[in-house]
């Protein structure tokens, strides 16, 4: 003989899980993804930034016709990568948490960013190392997907105040909103 519960008890069984989903899942989903586009000052193009707090990844698409690049900042692996279209190469580097903006810094800058020009508050210089990275999979799916079909190289952050003994024309300048300027310097082997 099947057991039949009154309809009222069935509703109670459905209400409790619904309340839990509303309390815990909905706020998490609203904080997971933040995305915004900003015009680039002084050139034709925009920069689109997508913050995925759940995965700990910030994606950047900069379609400036003078220096187009796409990038990933992977906070869980303390790594950033930039695909430089002018060089048809990818550059990866470790994040120095003391110098690099946090995910919260980027999210706050997205909320405050206006269309005007703001000089970078910080700038870092990296030198490309000559050996090519052979296995991108070890750096995670976002980096592997970004750098697919182009050679990838590591870059080493230069200490602040050290003079670079290289041609300044070998540097690619990248801007991350108004909060970070990156210089990637050195010749990329084979190009």
68-127 tens-digit pLDDT: 899 999 999 999 999 999 889 999 999 988 888 889 888 888 877 544 444 445 688 899
- 169 in a structural domain: yes
- 53 in a structural domain: yes
- Taking only Cα atoms into account, the Rg of the chain, rounded to an integer number of angstroms, comes to 22
- Dihedral of CA atoms 101, 50, 78, 171 in degrees, nearest 10, equals -70
Q: Please return the burial class of 34, using the count of CB atoms within 10 Å of its CB with bins 0-12, 13-18 and 19+.
A: middle
Collapsing DSSP states into helix, strand and coil, what is residue 20? helix
Instruction: Name the token pair of 164.
Output: 């670079």
- 16 in a structural domain: no
- 28 in a structural domain: no
Once rounded to an integer, what is the mean pLDDT over residues 48-60?
92
Q: Please return the burial class of 128, using the count of CB atoms within 10 Å of its CB with bins 0-12, 13-18 and 19+.
A: buried
- 159 in a structural domain: yes
Q: Which residues form the domain of 117? A: 34-185
Q: Could you report the per-residue pLDDT of 180-191, keeping only the tens digit for each?
A: 788 888 887 765
Residue 29 confidence (pLDDT) = 42
- 7 in a structural domain: no
Give yes or no for residue 8 having a pLDDT over 50: yes
Model confidence, pTM: 0.72
Residue 2 confidence (pLDDT) = 58
**Rounded Cα distance, 118 and 59, in Å:** 21
Domain count along the chain: 1
- 190 in a structural domain: no
Residue 33 confidence (pLDDT) = 53
């Amino acid at each position: 003989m099947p057991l039949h519960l009154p309809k009222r008890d069935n509703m109670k069984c459905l209400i409790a899980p619904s309340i839990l989903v509303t309390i815990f899942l909905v706020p998490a989903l609203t904080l997971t993804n933040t995305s915004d586009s900003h015009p680039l000052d002084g050139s034709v193009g925009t920069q689109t930034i997508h913050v995925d707090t759940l995965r700990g990844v910030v994606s950047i698409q900069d379609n400036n016709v003078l220096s187009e690049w796409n990038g990933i900042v992977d906070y869980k692996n303390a790594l950033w990568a930039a695909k430089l279209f002018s060089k048809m190469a990818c550059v990866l580097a470790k994040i120095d948490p003391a110098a690099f903006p946090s995910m919260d810094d980027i999210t706050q800058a997205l909320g405050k960013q206006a269309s005007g020009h703001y000089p970078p508050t910080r700038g870092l210089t990296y030198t490309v190392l000559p050996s090519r990275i052979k296995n991108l999979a070890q750096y995670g799916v976002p980096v592997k997907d970004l750098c697919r079909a182009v050679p990838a190289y590591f870059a080493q952050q230069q200490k602040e105040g050290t003079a670079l003994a290289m041609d300044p024309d070998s540097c690619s300048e990248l801007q991350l909103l108004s909060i970070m300027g990156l210089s990637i310097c050195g010749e990329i082997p084979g190009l």
